[in-house]
Structure 1
Amino acid sequence: MQRTWFLRSTMKLYDPKWKLINLEDEKCCSRPTMALELVAGAFLSASLELLFSKMDSREVVDFIRGKKIRGKKIEEGLRKLKTMLLTANKVLNDAERKQITDGAVREWLQELKNAIYDAEDLVYEMKNEALRSKLEANQSRRRKMLFKVRNFLPSRFDFKKVEERIKNIISTLQFILEQKHGLRLIEGVETKPFRRISEATLVKESDIYGRDADKEAIMKLLLSDHQVGGDKICVIPIVGMGGIGKTTLAQLVYRDIDNKVMEKLFDVKAWITVSDESDVFTLTKMIYQAVTESEKWSITETFQLQHKLEQFLDGKKILLVLDDIWNVNYQTWCALKIPFDSAANGSKISITTRNENIAAKIGNVPKHELQMISDEDSWRLFSKHAFSSVEPIAYPDLLEVIGRKIIKKCKGLPLAVKSLGGLLHSELDPKAWENVLESDIWELPQHENNILPALWLSYYYLPQHLKRCFAYCSIFPKDYTIEKGKLIRLWMAEDLLQPHRNKPLEEVGNEYVKDLVSRSFFHVSSFGGLTMHDLLNDLAQFISGESCLTLDDNYSWGLMTKKTRHLSLLRYQSYDIKKLRAGCENKVLRTLLVLDAGFISKEQYDISFTQLQSMQYLRVLSMPRNTFRHRNPLSTKAFDSIGSLTLLRYLDFSGSEIKEVPDILCSLHNLQTLILYFCLELTQLPDTIDNLKHLRYLDLSYSAIERIPDTICNLHDLHTLKLNGCKELTVLPSNITMLSNLQHLNIWGQV
C-alpha cells in the first residue's frame, strides 16, 4: 500500500496518456519500479567513508578505551563492523549496476542502506557522548568543581545496550553479506564520475533552441487587442509534456514582451506557479499578492479578497502567467476569473500545463502545443552545455560523432539534452562518452513519452558526494524555491559536505550548489533561489525512497515507516492530536522540517515539542511560526524536550513567542545553526551561549534583543551573525573582534 501511494504521488506528473499511470496493471508498475530504483544505493560508498572517519575519530577511540573491559568488547565489535562494511563496499558499484534489471539486488541494496543508517546512528551517539563527557570535564576543571555542571544533562548512555546494538547490526550485516555470493556480485567494479574542471559551465537559462516560431506565435497573441467572443481577456494555453520547455518559453516571452513595443504594453504583470493549488481562495490570494506586491493582510473570506482584487485591476491592462496548472476544474476557473472582468481590454492570461483537458476548459484560443525540437537544434543545445559554446571542432572529432548519437536517444526533449550536455562537459575521453551511449539504462522498457533514462544517466555518473546532496533535496516539494544558504546549512547539519583542505564548509557547500546548477539539477531563479524541475524532483524522490517523505493535508501520517529518516510538513494545520502523536513515534528521524506552520493550536504546538524527546537522532528541527497569525508561547516542557536532543545541529524557532533563550538550549553542544528570526518578544540571550562551541550561524533579526552578551565572542566557529532590524539593540560586544571566523555581520535596519 505504501509503495502504491508513492507511485501515485509521483507518477501524476507525467503525461495523462502514459500507460505507466495504470496502477492496476502489474506489468506496467513493475517495470518502471525496477528502472526508477536504479539508484537506490548509489551514495552508500560516500556514507561509508564518512562513517569510517567517525569510527576512527580520536574522541570515539579514547572514549571507548576509557571503559576498560566493556570498552574492549565494544572496540572489538566496531572493528568487526567496519570489516564487514568494507567487504560490502567492494561490491557496491557492481550492485548499483546490476539492480537495473535484478530486483533481488535492488532489495539487497535497500537492506544494506538501512543497516548503514543504524550503524551511523550508533556511532554518532557515541561520538556525541564522548564530546559531552569531554566538555563536562573541561568545565569541571575550569570551575574547580568535582561534580557535573548543571547545564549538561546527566548521561543516559548504557554501554551494555551499545554492545547489544553492535551485535544486532553485525548479525544483520552477516545475513546481508551472505546473499552477495548468490547474487553474483563482483568486487572492484569501477564507476568513474564525470568531474568538473572549470566553473565556466554555468549557462543562462534563457538560452533556448528551436523555439523561435513558438516564441513569435505567443508574442503575436499577446500583442493582439482583439477580444475573444464575449471575454475581455484572452487566455492562451501552452501545452506539452514535462521537460519540453513550456516554463522556459513562457519566461522568455514574459521578460521580452515589453521590448517589442515603444511603450509599456501592460500596466500589471505577474507570474504565479500554480502546481497542485486548486481552491479559489488560495489561487486568488497568490494572484493578489503578486499583482499588488503585498504579503500583509487579514482577509479570510474569498468574496472579500476577490472584491479587493477586482478593485485593484479596475481599468488596468494586465498580463498574468499561470504556470504549471494541474487540477483546476472548470467550476474553479469560472469563479477564479470573475475579478478579471474589471481589467482593461487587451489583457492576457497565459497558462502552461501538461493536461490537454485543462487547456481546453480554460483557454479561449486554440492551444499552442510544444513539439520536440529537431536533431540539429538538440545538437546546438547539447553543444552549448557540453562545450561551453566553444565550437566542437576544438575537441576530438570522435566526440561529435558519439554526441550526435547520444542526443538522438533523447528524442528531442530539451531537459534530457541539456542534462546530458552538462554531464559530459569538460570530459574529453571518448570512452567515457561511449559508456553513456552504450549504457544499459537506455535499453529499459520504453513507454510513451518516457524521458527519464537521460536523467538517470546524469545522476548515475555524478560524484558520490553530489548524489547524496541531490537525493536529500527530495524533502522539498515540487515548485518550492530553496534558499541557497539554508540548503547548505541543512546539508551541513546532515554531514553531507566533505571537508576540503582548509575551506570553510559554507564554501564547500557553495561549490556543490554551483556544480549541481552547472549539471542542470538546479535552476537559479530570478530572485537567486534554487528550484528543481518536476521530473528531477521525481528522480530525487525515487532515489531517496522511503528515507525521505513530504506530508501535507492530503496524506496520512501512517505513510511514515521506520525507514523514514527525513520528514517535511506542508500546510500543517489540520492534523489532529492522535495523528500528531503517531507521527512523532518515529525514533530514528533525523530531519523534521515544517515548511508551512499554518494554524496550530497551543495544544498541538506543545505536543509537537513534548513528543520530540523520543527522537534522539534528530539533527534538524525547523518549526517556524507564522507571525501574521495567532502565536502561542512555548511551554517549559517544550524546552525541556528540545534540550534532550543532543545531536541537534539545526534549530529554527522563527516567529516563536519566546522572551528569552533558556540555559537548557545552550547544552546543545552540536548546534551549528540557531534561527530566532522575528521572535518579537525575545529580549536577551543567556551568558551560557558560549557553550554552543560549534555554532556557525545565528539569526536574531527582527527580535527585541537589547544586548548581546560578551560571552558570544567565545564562539570562535561563528561564521554569520544576523541582527537586521533589531531596533532595541544599541551596542555590540566590545571584544567582537575575537570572532576570527566571522564572515557576515548583518546589522542594517537598526534605526
Structure 2
Amino acid sequence: MAGLMVAGSFLSAALNVLFDRMASKPVLDFLRSKKLNQNLLRKLEIELWSARRVLNDAEKKQLTDPAVREWLHQLRDAIYDAEDLVYEINSEAELSELEAGRSGSHTLFQVQNFFSSSKFTVPNIEERVEEIHSMLKYIVEKKDVLGLREGGLETRHFPRLSEAPLVNDSDIYGRDADKEAILKFLSSEEVGGGDKKVSVIPIVGMGGIGKTTLAQVVYNDIDCHDINKPFGIKAWITVSEESDVFVLTKIIYEAVTMKSPDSCIKQLFQLQLQLAELLRNKKFLFVFDDVWNLNYQRWSDLKRPLQSAAHGSKIIVTTRSTEIASVMGSVPGHELQMLSEEDCWRLFAKYAFDNVEASGVQELEAIGRQIVEKCKGLPLAIKSLGCLLHSERSPQEWEYVLKNDIWDLSERESNILPALWLSYYYLPLHLKRCFAYCSIFPKDYEFRKAKLILLWMAEDLLQPQKNKTLEEVGEGYFKDLTSRSFFHGERNGRFSMHDLTNDLANFVSGESCLTSDANYSERLLRKTRYLSIDGNKVHDMQQIEEISKNKVLRTLLVLGKSYALDEHYKKYPEQLQSMRCLRALSAFKNLSTYEEPHITKLLDSISGLKLLRYLDLSYNYGMKEIPDAIWTLCNLQTLLLGGCSELIALPNSIGNLKHLRHLDLSRTIIEKLPDTICDLHELHTLKLNFVKNFLVYQATSQR
C-alpha cells in the first residue's frame, strides 16, 4: 500500500500556493492581454475549492478505503496539471515583460525571432483549462458517492520547537553492555571463521531498534578506547539494498581514499587490485551498514581484496537478516534486544522534557508512559514521539496522541511504524510537503542542507515570511524537521534519513515521487513528477528511455555517475526539450567523456525549459562556455557550475536572469565576470572558491 498513498494535507498545501498564483497580477494581466476568457480560471478555482473542503476527511479514510485512495490520485494529477498550466502562463508573462525591457537593444531582432518560436508560447490555453476543469468536475462529483464530508477531522499540529535538544551520539540508553561487547571484539586479536586476517561481527535486529546508532557510537569512540594497535584505516560504507560487487567495491575504494577510482577502470578485477594494494598490510575498521542483499557468492567476491590487509582488521555489519549475519559473520551475530521499559522511558523523557526531571511534569508522566508502551521498545519510535511532544505541555494534546486511532490503522494497513506516521500526521502542512519531497532521495543517501533548501525553493515549497529571505525560511523548515528526528546528521555536514523514515516519505508522496534504483513500470516512469536517478545503480537503457518520455516531470536529479546515462545523453540531449514542466535539473556530473559539441547541444536543449528554477551542471569537464540563450531561463534561481574546470566565461545575457539568487563558479577558470552581473538584484550567493585566475571585479554600487 505504501506506493499507493497520497497525503490529502500535501494536496491542501499545494492548493494554497496554486490559488495565490492564479490570482497573481502577472497571470491575470497576461490573460487580459491575450483576450482570453478569465472566467475559465474562476470556474477552475471553484472546483478546486470544492475538492479542498473534503481533503481532511479523505486523508483519514484513504487508509482503509482503496476507492478514496484512487480518488486522491486522480485529484492530485488534476492539481498538478493545473499548476503546470498556471506556471507556464506566469512564465510567459514574465518573458513578455523581459522582451519589453530589452526592446531597443542590439538583441531586439534576436528576441523577436525568439518569441516567434513555438517553444516559448503557452499552447491551447483555453482548451487545456476546459479539459482540467472537466476532469476536476468529474472528480468532485464523486466525493458524495464516496461519502466524503466537508471539514472532516482537522489535523492538529504542535507548536514549532523552540530549540531541539542536542544529543551526543554516545548518549544512548540501555546499550552499555552491547557497546562493551562490540568494543571487546574490536580490541581482540582473535579471528573467527576461516579467514586469516579479517574478522566480521554482525549486529542484528529489526528496523528502528538502534543497530546503526550502536555502530556509530563504537565507530566514533574506538580511537578513545584502550587498544594497543589502533586501526590505521577507518571507513563507513552504507550498503543498503546494493548487491553489485563492482559498485560496492567502488564505494569502499572511495570511502578509503576520499576520491573516485580512475575512469578507465571498468573491470572488477582491476578495481579490486587497486583496493587490495591500498589495504596491503594495513589494519582497518570498516562498518557495512544496513545490508540487505548480499548472498554467499557476492560476499565471497566482495571480501577478496580485503584479505591483503593486516591481521586484526575488523568489519562491523548491521543487518535485519539473520541469514545475512550467518553468511558474513566470522563470529556469531550480536542480536539487539528491545529496550527495557525503564530505558524506554528515560529515552522518551530526554527528548520530550529536554532532560528536565520528570517530577517537573508529573501530570504528563502517566500519559507519556502509556505512549511509550505503544512504541514496543523501539528507540526510533520513542525518539520520534519524544521530539513531537517536546514543546507541548498540555495533557489534553498528549491524550490526543495517545488515543489517536492511527495507532491501529497504520499497524493494520501498512508497514510504517505508527509512531512515525503520527509524527508526520501532526506536522504543519508546509513541513509535510517539504518532508514528502525528500522521498526523491534513495535510502541512506546523504544530502547537503543548502542544496535541499534550494530544491524546496525551486518547487515553491517555502512560504514567504516577512523580514526573512527564502533561504532563512528554508533553514527554519530544516531545523524543525531535524528537531523532530526526520533528518539526522552525518559526517562532513551531510544529512540523511533513517530507512524507516525514508519509507514514510515514500508512503506519503506515493507515485508522484520515485527513485529509479528500482524497477518501475513504464506507466509510473511516464507519469511521476519528481524523480532521482542513482547513476551508480541504473544500467538499464530501456528504463532511461522511458524516463525520457516523461512530459510532466518537475524534478530530475542524477545522483552519481553512470556510463549508461553518458552514452544516452550524448545521443539524445534534445529529449530534455519535451520536459516543459521541469523546475529542477541536476545531471551529467563527471562526464569527462563528453566533447564540446555534445555539451553545446545539451545546453541548447536546456534553454527551452522556461519553468526551470534550479540547474546543477557541476563537474561537466567539457563545458567551456554558456550559450547566450541562458537568458531565456527567466525563472532560474539557482545555477551551479562548480567544478566545470574548462569554463572560461559567462555570457553578458546572464544579467537578464532577474530571479537568480545562487551562482556557483567554484573551481572554474573564469577570469572576470561580465558587467551585467550587477543587474542581478536578487543575487544572494556568489561562490568563487578556488578560482585561481579570477580578477576581483570592483562593482560600481553596493549590493
TM above 0.5: yes
User: Which residue does the alignment assign to 2:47?
Assistant: 84
**Take 2:189 and 2:584, find their aligned partners in 1: how far apart are those partners?**
53
After the TM superposition, which of the residue ranges 445-454 and 368-377 deviates more from structure 2?
A: 445-454
Give the superposition deviation at 1:160.
8.0
Question: Cα–Cα, structure 1 residues 366 and 720, in superposed 2: closer, same or farther, change >3 Å?
Answer: same
Q: Which amino acid aligns with 2:588?
A: P
Deviation at 1:450, TM superposition (A): 5.5
Aligned to 1:195: 159
Letter in 2 for 1:57: S
**Selected match of 2:583 from 609, 619, 624:** 619
Q: Does the 8 Å CA contact 1:475/1:549 hold for their aligned counterparts? A: yes
Deviation of 1:582 after TM superposition, in Å, equals 3.6
Pick from 120, 123, 126 the counterpart of residue 89 of structure 2. Answer: 126
Distance 2:537 2:340 in 1: 48
Q: Deviations for 1:166-213, whole angstroms, at most 9, x for unmatched residues?
A: 112121121222122233322234212112140234534442111111
CA shift in 2, pair 1:462/1:181, >3 Å: same
Letter matched to residue 604 of structure 2: D
Contact 1:40 1:106 in 2 (8 A): no
Residue 566 of structure 1 is aligned with which of 530, 535, 538?
Answer: 530
Match of 1:491 among 435, 439, 456: 456
- Indicate how the Cα distance of structure 1 residues 139 and 708 shifts in structure 2: closer, same or farther if over 3 A, else same: same
- C-alpha change, 1:223 and 1:548, in structure 2 (3 Å) is same
- Distance in 2 separating the partners of 1:160 and 1:605: 27
Which region of structure 1 is more displaced relative to structure 2, 111-120 or 329-338? 329-338
The percentage of aligned residue pairs carrying the same residue is 57
Partner of 1:383: 349
Q: Distance in 2 between matches of 1:448 and 1:206?
A: 35
Asked whether the 8 Å contact 2:247–2:536 carries over to 1, the reply is no
Letter in 1 for 2:303: K
Is contact 1:247–1:323 with CA below 8 Å preserved after alignment?
Answer: yes
Q: CA deviation at 1:400?
A: 1.3
Q: Aligned partners of 1:276, 1:153: CA distance in 2, in Å? A: 50
For residue 237 of structure 1, give the secondary structure of its aligned residue in structure 2. Answer: strand
Matches within 5 A, 1:126-275: 126-140=89-103, 148-149=111-112, 154=117, 161-189=124-152, 190-231=154-195, 232-261=197-226, 265-275=230-240
C-alpha distance 324-47 of structure 1, shift in aligned 2 (>3 A): same
> Equivalents in 1 of 2:69, 2:206: separation in Å?
29
CA distance in 2, matches of 1:687, 1:56: 34
**Distance in 1, Cα, partners of 2:249 & 2:412:** 38
Alignment of 1:275-354 (within 5 A): 275-297=240-262, 298-354=264-320
User: Which aligned pairs between 1:437-456 and structure 2 lie closer than 5 A?
Assistant: 437-444=402-409, 446=411, 452-456=417-421
Q: d(CA) in 2 for partners of 1:243 and 1:709?
A: 53
Residue 712 (1) aligns with residue 689 (2): no
* 2:92/2:121 contact within 8 Å kept: no
8 Å CA contact 2:582, 2:612 repeated in 1: yes
CA deviation string 1:37-59 (max 9, x = no partner): 56532211111110011011111
Separation in structure 1 between the aligned mates of residue 521 and residue 683 of structure 2, nearest angstrom: 37
Alignment correspondent of 1:22: none
Determine if contact 2:289/2:317 at 8 Å carries over to the other structure: yes
Q: Does 2:478 match 1:478?
A: no
Once residues 440 and 422 of structure 2 are traced to their aligned partners in structure 1, the CA distance between those partners, rounded to angstroms, is 22
d(CA) in 2 for partners of 1:467, 1:391: 32
Match of 2:647 among 663, 682, 693: 682
Distance 2:136 2:340 in 1: 51
How far the C-alpha of 1:650 sits from its partner, in A, is 1.0
What number of residue pairs does the alignment pair up?
Answer: 699
In the other structure, the counterpart of 2:10 is 43
CA distance in structure 1 between the aligned counterparts of 2:42 and 2:55, rounded to whole angstroms? 20
Cα distance change on mapping 1:172 and 1:212 into 2, 3 Å: same
Residue-by-residue CA offset, 1:48-82 (whole Å, 9 max, x unaligned): 110011011111122222233xx2x2x11111211
* CA deviation after TM superposition for structure 1 residue 142, in Å: 6.8
Q: What letter is aligned with 2:508?
A: I
1:519 aligns with 2:478: no
Q: Distance in 2 between matches of 1:694 and 1:489?
A: 13
In the alignment, which residue of structure 2 is the partner of 1:646? Answer: 610
What is the aligned partner in structure 1 of residue 337 from structure 2? 371
| Gap change, CA 1:328 and 1:63, over 3 Å in 2 | same
1:359-378 CA-to-partner distances (Å, cap 9, x unmatched) read 11111211100111112111
Partner Cα separation in structure 2 for residue 505 and residue 703 of structure 1: 27
Pairing 1:666–2:631 present: yes
Secondary structure, in 3 states, of the residue corresponding to 2:598?
Answer: coil
Query: Residue 581 of structure 1 contacts residue 611 of structure 1 at CA under 8 Å; is this kept in 2?
Result: no
Residue 578 of structure 1 and its aligned partner are, at CA, apart by 6.2
What are the Cα deviations for residues 11-50 of structure 1, in whole angstroms up to 9, with x where unaligned?
Answer: xxxxxxxxxxxxxxxxxxxxxx2x7856532211111110
Alpha-carbon spacing, 1:245–1:145, altered in 2? closer, same or farther (3 Å): closer
Given the superposition, is the C-alpha separation of residues 458 and 38 from structure 1 closer, same or farther in structure 2, using an over 3 Å criterion? farther
In 2: Cα distance, 1:393 partner to 1:323 partner: 39
The answer as to whether partners of 1:239 and 1:368 remain within 8 angstroms in 2 is yes
Separation in structure 2 between the aligned mates of residue 216 and residue 145 of structure 1, nearest angstrom:
74
Q: Structure 1 residues 293 and 597, CA, compared in 2 at 3 Å: closer, same or farther?
A: closer
Unaligned runs of 5+ in 1: 1-32, 741-751
Matched residue, 1:18: none
Q: State the TM-score, normalized to the length of structure 2.
A: 0.93
Provide closer, same or farther for how the CA distance between residues 641 and 229 of structure 1 changes in structure 2, counting only shifts above 3 A: closer
Equivalent of 1:62, from 5, 24, 29?
Answer: 29
Q: Counterpart of 1:324 in 2: which secondary structure?
A: strand
Deviations 1:502-536 (A, max 9, x none): 21111111111111110111011122111011111
Q: What's the RMSD between the two structures over aligned residues? A: 2.6
- State the Cα deviation string for residues 315-340 of structure 1 (Å, max 9, x = none): 33322211111111212222332333
Paired residues of 2:364 and 2:395 also in contact (CA < 8 A): yes
Q: 1:299 offset after TM fit, Å?
A: 3.8
Instruction: Kindly provide the amino acid, as one letter, of the partner of residue 325 in structure 1.
Output: V
Deviation at 1:420, TM superposition (A): 1.0
Shift of 1:119: 0.9
1:108 matched to 2:71:
yes
> Match for 1:280: what amino acid?
V
Larger mean Cα displacement after TM superposition, 174-183 or 222-231: 222-231
Tell me the residue number matched to 1:29: none
Secondary structure of the 1:479 match is: coil
Question: Is 1:236–1:363's contact at 8 Å kept on the other side of the alignment?
Answer: yes
Label 1:321 to 1:197 Cα distance change in 2 as closer, same or farther (>3 A): closer
What's the offset of the Cα at 1:408?
0.6
For residues 144 and 565 of structure 1, the distance between their equivalents in structure 2, rounded to whole angstroms, comes to 36
* Mapped partners of 1:705, 1:432: distance in 2: 57
Take 2:251 and 2:448, find their aligned partners in 1: how far apart are those partners?
20
3-state SS, counterpart of residue 249 of structure 1: helix
CA drift of 1:229 comes to 5.0
What is the TM-score normalised by the length of structure 1? 0.88
Q: Which blocks of at least 5 consecutive residues in structure 2 are unaligned?
A: none
Residue 493 of structure 1 contacts residue 672 of structure 1 at CA under 8 Å; is this kept in 2?
yes
In 2 relative to 1, CA 602–308 (structure 1 residues): closer, same or farther, beyond 3 Å? closer
Which shifted more, 501-510 or 385-394?
Answer: 385-394
Distance (Å, rounded) in 2 between the aligned partners of 1:157 and 1:294:
42
Alpha-carbon separation, structure 1, partners of 2:73 and 2:655:
41
* Equivalent-residue separation in structure 2 for 1:337 and 1:437 (angstroms): 48
Contact 1:625 1:631 in 2 (8 A): no
Residue 90 of structure 1 contacts residue 187 of structure 1 at CA under 8 Å; is this kept in 2? yes
